[in-house]
Amino acid sequence: MKTIKAIEPLPLARMAGIIGAVWGLFVAVAVMTFNTGFEQYMGRFYTVFSIAFPHGGALDLITLPIFYALVGFVGAYLGAWFYNLLAKQIGGIKVDLK
């Protein structure tokens, strides 16, 4: 058994930011797709996604990946920092590397 004693925050945060941006792109495409489908049947005002994302359209392709990347970056950085703080006090996570 090996113990993870520390995690470097910046590399973890970069990876989480990139994953968040890719995920945000998928979410933006899904939001645009569902908005288009709902608008045809219910009108723009009554769709759930138009209330949550009032700007809609192609702007989602820019804003959502950036938002998801920032949330992923900051969350992973703070998570690694907090893990390192706790790992010094109570020990790290034990993993079996076979």
CA 73 – CA 82 distance, rounded (Å)? 14
DSSP-derived secondary structure for 5-49: ----HHHHHHHHHHHHHHHHHHHHHHHHHHHHHHHHHH-GGG-HH
Q: How much is the pTM?
A: 0.76
Closest CA to 17 of 64, 61, 65, 72: 72
Please say whether the beta carbons of 31 and 64 come within 8 A: yes
pLDDT-wise least confident of 21-30, 43-52, 70-79: 43-52
User: Which pLDDT tens digit goes with each residue over 30-64?
Assistant: 877 776 665 566 555 555 555 555 556 677 788 88
